Amino acid sequence: MNLKYLILGTGGTGACIGSFLAKEGKDVTFIARGKHLEAIEQKGLFVLSPKLGKIHIKEPKVSKTEWYNDKADVIFVCVKCYSINALIPFIERVSHENTIVIPITNCFGFATKIAEKVPKIISLGGCIYISSDISYYGEITMRSDIFRMIYGFRKADLKRKEAHKWTEIINQITDDLNESGIDASVSDDIRTEVYRKFSYVSPISAACAYLETNAGELQAEGEKRDFLIKLMEEVVNVGKAMDIILEDDIIEKNLQMLSTVLPNVTSSMQKDIEKGGDSEIDGLVFDVIKIAEEYGVSVPLYKKVAEKFNYSQSI
């Protein structure tokens, strides 16, 4: 089965997924824009991997959303959370009845949001472990060897009579990704997997933005690290209220993961806030408070972070 892959968002994550697939001859189209698009059109797409060296997709299929007129079998949605609503009409236009959409975002619950707005497709829950960014137009640098992707059916979709049709396609996606060098697997409990990743990204993003700090200061013992740990405790408690039970040592595991990050690294949300543009604070901070209020969970530090960024004006 030769699947048509569409990478919606050719940033650090999407470019790596698509390039690894393309180097193995898979049918991949990248959606990009601006100078990044121009550079890819002129020179191809470069991914600098510590494990594989320089990957050069010399003549990638690359397009703007308005130029793309095909139907995709698989769509990896690799954009910031705040961009998804604007892209729903495009996703609907380029999907057929068996299209599988895999949102790879930092936020929680976006597979459901996409499925509600485009009911004809199957929207899997998904998360990824990768450290990569655009180092220059047309060039992506991977910061570690870790490249792991997990996805799976949401419970609502398992009840659909069409689910068996999608299982074969999902198995093919998994084979394609693994053949390409990506550690890909299907989870029977993707909701927990996505929230596990969220329990890492959300508190670190909140702490970096509120404290105006970097990974190095959160790695060191002291008040800033203690602040981060309390945020992690709050987000774990919110998960428990939703019947998402993470392992007892999840905070220790998250701190261990943080210890592998370069000290000068800051969060993506923090950078966006500092630039004064859109950021993922709604999905990474404000949504935690909304869920906590719905379930009656106390999250005083999340509220403290939110107040700094005008949470009361966002609702």
Which CATH number does the domain housing residue 85 bear? 3.40.50.720
In this structure, the answer to whether residues 75 and 154 fall within a common structural domain is: yes
In this structure, the answer to whether residues 68 and 172 fall within a common structural domain is: yes
Separation of alpha carbons 69 and 315, rounded Å: 37
Predicted pLDDT of residue 145:
86
Question: 262 falls in which pLDDT band (50, 70, 90)?
Answer: confident
Q: Is residue 311 predicted with pLDDT exceeding 80? A: no
* For range 78-85, the mean pLDDT: 91
In this structure, the answer to whether residues 33 and 131 fall within a common structural domain is: yes
The angle that helices 12-23 and 163-179 make with each other, rounded to 10 degrees, is 80
In this structure, the answer to whether residues 83 and 209 fall within a common structural domain is: no
In 205-285, the DSSP E strands lie at: none
In this structure, the answer to whether residues 165 and 229 fall within a common structural domain is: no
Predicted pLDDT of residue 57:
98
Single residue among 188, 213, 228 that ends a domain in this structure:
188
**Contact (CB, 8 A) for 33 and 10:** no
Element (H, E) at 40: helix 34-43
- Domain tally for the chain? 2
Element (H, E) at 200: helix 190-211
Assigned token pair, 103: 């949102």
Rg from Cα positions in the chain: 19
Q: Is residue 7 predicted with pLDDT exceeding 60? A: yes
In this structure, the answer to whether residues 58 and 134 fall within a common structural domain is: yes
In this structure, the answer to whether residues 50 and 75 fall within a common structural domain is: yes
Q: Is residue 124 predicted with pLDDT exceeding 70? A: yes
Please state the φ and ψ torsions of residue 300, each to the nearest 5 degrees: -60, -35
In this structure, the answer to whether residues 277 and 305 fall within a common structural domain is: yes
Q: Which residue has the tokens 């709604």?
A: 282
In this structure, the answer to whether residues 157 and 237 fall within a common structural domain is: no
Q: Is residue 21 predicted with pLDDT exceeding 60? A: yes
- CB-based contacts of 132, cutoff 8 Å, min separation 6: 12, 13, 15, 16, 47, 140, 141, 142, 143
Domain extent at residue 287: 191-313
CATH number of the domain that residue 306 is part of: 1.10.1040.10
Q: Is residue 183 predicted with pLDDT exceeding 50? A: yes
* For range 189-211, the mean pLDDT: 96
In this structure, the answer to whether residues 200 and 173 fall within a common structural domain is: no
Closest CA to 71 of 34, 27, 37, 107: 27
What pTM value is reported for the model?
0.93
Separation of alpha carbons 202 and 38, rounded Å: 33
In this structure, the answer to whether residues 135 and 224 fall within a common structural domain is: no
CB hemisphere CA count around 126 (13 angstroms)? 25
In this structure, the answer to whether residues 113 and 27 fall within a common structural domain is: yes
* Summary mean pLDDT of the chain: 93
Q: Is residue 15 predicted with pLDDT exceeding 70? A: yes
